[in-house]
């Protein structure tokens, strides 16, 4: 099951904890992967670790033209894009009363607008192939909200509506579009939290622990597979029971 | 029939899976040939590739029939 031999996957944010785990899981299942991100060094390191079938495609997702060029670069590097994983995301947390236009725009541009652009960019090759998998990494806060994250939560909730609408339009062409909404996952981002912050959050998680990037990657692997062809427009919540949606 | 018309007809027949004799001058892609809105977008994409032309969205909207497509492409190519 879940054999991705011969499939080409583009993963954004592959320099981060979750993105790296996603790229590794897809690669291990046989896919060729294009690793995108802003920081070249960790991308190169990951590509070296993976060996064959790995390409590095740096991209600044706040630059619209660069984002539009990325799917074309991925097609050139791999020969096609069958699987797109929009995983990159940024936060600019601030209490709403203090939220600046800039912090709103930055988060919406990188998290939501770049997702739209990349989905649009891969649509033509996927339509022609009559096969495609779009997997957008949202967040639990897109469904629950979170104080201090008006911009981030809005961008992640926006992803859900975007994904569902795309799923409607292209379902008849063998293309699925789904979201994964991670809860509290142990990454460099959560390492920065204080012990008090961590224990406060853990108390809200029935599983009693943080999730691992590999547990998000496993959900991505499923959605990327042939076997998931009948799953579309869905959001898979991977959150240890933190919110049962 | 012109070369352009032959090539357009081939794309339409292949893409929509219709009989060749149904693809007449006035045949509407949506009303007569069973295309949905996404099919019309895909047809335009296929025409662009076959003939190496750009068909802007506002022009694409005016291409409703087989005859429209042949006329537009003949003028653009």
Contact A172 B38 (CB under 8 A): yes
Burial category of A66 from C-beta neighbours within 10 Å (exposed 0-12, middle 13-18, buried 19 and up): middle
Query: Which is the catalytic residue, given B3, B6, B32, B36?
Result: B36
Which residues of chain A lie closer than 8 angstroms to B45, CB-CB? 124, 127
Burial category of A18 from C-beta neighbours within 10 Å (exposed 0-12, middle 13-18, buried 19 and up): buried
Task: Tell me how far CA of residue A227 lies from CA of A15, A72, A131, in angstroms.
Answer: 28, 27, 12
Record the pTM.
0.92
State how far the Cα of A25 lies from the Cα of B72, in Å rounded to an integer: 48
Which residues of chain B lie closer than 8 angstroms to A174, CB-CB? none
How many secondary structure helices (H) and strands (E) does chain A include?
10, 7
- Angle, alpha carbons A169-A175-A181 (nearest 5°): 90
Task: Tell me how many domains chain B contains.
Answer: 1
State how far the Cα of B35 lies from the Cα of B16, in Å rounded to an integer: 7
Residue B1 has a pLDDT of 58
Q: Domain holding B67: CATH number? A: 1.10.1200.10
State how far the Cα of A97 lies from the Cα of A84, in Å rounded to an integer: 36
Task: Tell me how far CA of residue A188 lies from CA of A19, A23, A185, A217, in angstroms.
Answer: 12, 17, 10, 16
Which residues of chain B lie closer than 8 angstroms to A121, CB-CB? none
Beta strands at A175-182 and A235-238: parallel, antiparallel or unpaired: parallel
Q: What is the dihedral of CA A123, A125, A127, A131, to 10 degrees?
A: -100
The ipTM of this complex is: 0.78
Give the domain range for residue B18.
1-76
CB pairs under 8 A between A and B: 8
Tens-place pLDDT, residues A9-29: 999 999 999 999 999 999 999
Structure tokens at A198: 């961590």
B32, β-bridge pairs: none
Own/partner pairs, A24-27, CB within 8 angstroms, 24+ separation? A24/A50, A24/A217, A25/A214, A25/A217, A25/A218, A25/A220, A25/A221, A26/A83, A26/A85, A26/A217, A26/A220, A26/A221, A26/A224, A27/A53, A27/A54
Whether A222 sits among the annotated catalytic residues: the reply is no
Per-residue pLDDT tens listing for chain A (245 residues): 999 999 999 999 999 999 999 999 999 999 999 999 999 999 999 999 999 999 999 999 999 999 999 999 999 999 999 999 999 999 999 999 999 999 999 999 999 999 999 999 999 999 989 999 999 999 999 999 999 999 999 999 999 999 999 999 999 999 999 999 999 999 877 777 788 888 888 999 999 999 999 999 999 999 999 999 999 999 999 999 999 99
Per-residue pLDDT tens listing for chain B (77 residues): 579 999 999 999 999 999 999 999 999 999 999 999 899 999 999 999 999 999 998 999 999 999 999 999 999 87
């Amino acid at each position: 099951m879940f054999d991705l031999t011969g499939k080409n996957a583009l993963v954004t944010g592959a320099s981060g904890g979750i993105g790296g785990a996603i790229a590794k899981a897809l690669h291990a299942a046989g896919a060729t992967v294009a690793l995108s991100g802003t920081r070249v060094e960790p991308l190169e390191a990951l590509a070296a670790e993976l060996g064959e079938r790995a390409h590095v495609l740096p991209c600044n997702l706040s630059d619209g033209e660069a984002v539009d060029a990325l799917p074309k670069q991925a097609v050139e590097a791999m020969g096609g894009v069958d699987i797109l994983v929009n995983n990159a995301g940024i936060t600019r947390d601030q209490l709403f009363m203090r939220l600046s236009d800039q912090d709103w725009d930055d988060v919406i541009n990188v998290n939501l607008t770049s997702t739209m652009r990349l989905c649009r960019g891969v649509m033509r090759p996927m339509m022609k192939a009559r096969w495609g998998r779009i997997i957008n990494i949202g967040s639990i806060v897109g469904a629950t909200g979170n104080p201090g994250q008006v911009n981030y939560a809005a961008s992640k909730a926006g992803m859900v509506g975007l994904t569902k609408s795309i799923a409607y339009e292209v379902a008849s062409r063998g293309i699925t579009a789904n979201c994964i909404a991670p809860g509290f996952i142990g990454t460099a981002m959560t390492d920065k939290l204080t012990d008090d912050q961590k224990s406060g959050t853990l108390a809200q998680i029935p599983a009693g622990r943080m999730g691992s990037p590999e547990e998000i990657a496993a959900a991505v692997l499923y959605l990327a597979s042939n076997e998931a062809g009948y799953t579309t427009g869905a959001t898979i919540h991977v959150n240890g029971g933190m919110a049962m949606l | 029939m012109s070369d352009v018309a032959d090539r357009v007809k081939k794309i339409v027949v292949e893409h929509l899976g219709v009989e060749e004799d149904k693809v007449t001058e006035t045949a509407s892609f949506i009303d007569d040939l069973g295309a949905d809105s996404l099919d019309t977008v895909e047809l335009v994409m296929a025409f662009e590739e076959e003939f190496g032309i750009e068909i802007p969205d506002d022009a694409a909207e005016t291409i409703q029939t087989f005859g429209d497509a042949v006329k537009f492409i003949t003028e653009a190519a």
